[in-house]
Amino acid sequence: MSGAEELAARLAEDQLEVLGGFAVSEAEAGFPPGTRTLLMLGPKEPGFWGHLTSQPEWDGAPDPVDRWSRRVIGRIACDLGAKALFPFGGPPYHPFYQWALRTGRVWDSPVRLLVHAGQGLMVSFRGALALKEAVAVPPPGTKPCETCAAPCLTACPAGAITAAGYDVPRCHAFLDQPEGADCLSGGCLVRRACPVSQSYARLPEQSAYHMGQFHR
């Protein structure tokens, strides 16, 4: 079994996978000293939500997803002699958006949200591993939007997410109305409109949880 296969198997124990990665040049700014490779980690489906909600962090205290991510990814990093980095816990925040684009497997979508080769607009990152070794990373993919009719552009019932960007106050105002119930219970309709998202096995319960965290 190769090193990449061993890492994939280790991540799969906690329903995580490498969503992309890239080489880091020697002494490049913005990374822990000695970093040569950055691997970006996210949920592996199907099964992520059931696994997560069975963990000790799901105890009613705030931020269970972030606390679980720190424990699990932090432990993996320690085992590998790597450094765990997270998209939360700031300011300052690590530039996960820019890092994702650098992988060649994540792109800026027509509605400015990130879109992943396999997860579509449902892509999310739980953390990253900064490795001191140069290791193989997933190869670049083909941007799915290039052959897509872009239903995301017209999917938002509030007109809050368009090619012009994301009007967050308008989104919140819509979610306060009865018409926003479907978005709250099943997840953002723009993300759900993406054909790649529709083939990704993310449970509505997970989307509802994150919507509840966003709109509170």
> How do residues 139-163 score in pLDDT, each as one tens digit?
999 999 999 999 999 999 999 999 9
The predicted model scores a pTM of: 0.94
Partner residues linked to 129 by β-bridges: 39, 84
pLDDT over 90 percentage in the chain: 95
What is the tens place of the pLDDT at every residue in 72-123? 999 999 999 999 999 999 999 999 999 999 999 999 999 999 999 999 999 9
- Short-list 60, 40, 155, CA closest to 102: 40
**pLDDT the model gives residue 1:** 46
Band of the pLDDT at 2, cuts 50, 70, 90? low
Whole-number average pLDDT of the chain: 96
Q: Do 19 and 106 form a contact (C-beta atoms < 8 A)?
A: yes
The answer to whether the Cα torsion of 10, 12, 75, 97 is positive or negative is positive
Residue 172 has pLDDT above 60, yes or no: yes
Helix residue spans in the chain (DSSP H): 3-12, 48-52, 64-80, 96-102, 168-175, 181-186, 189-193, 195-198, 204-214
What is the tens place of the pLDDT at every residue in 70-81? 999 999 999 999
Q: In terms of residues, how long is the chain?
A: 216
CA atoms within 13 A on the CB side of 178: 0
**pLDDT the model gives residue 14:** 97
The answer to whether the Cα torsion of 197, 201, 207, 208 is positive or negative is positive
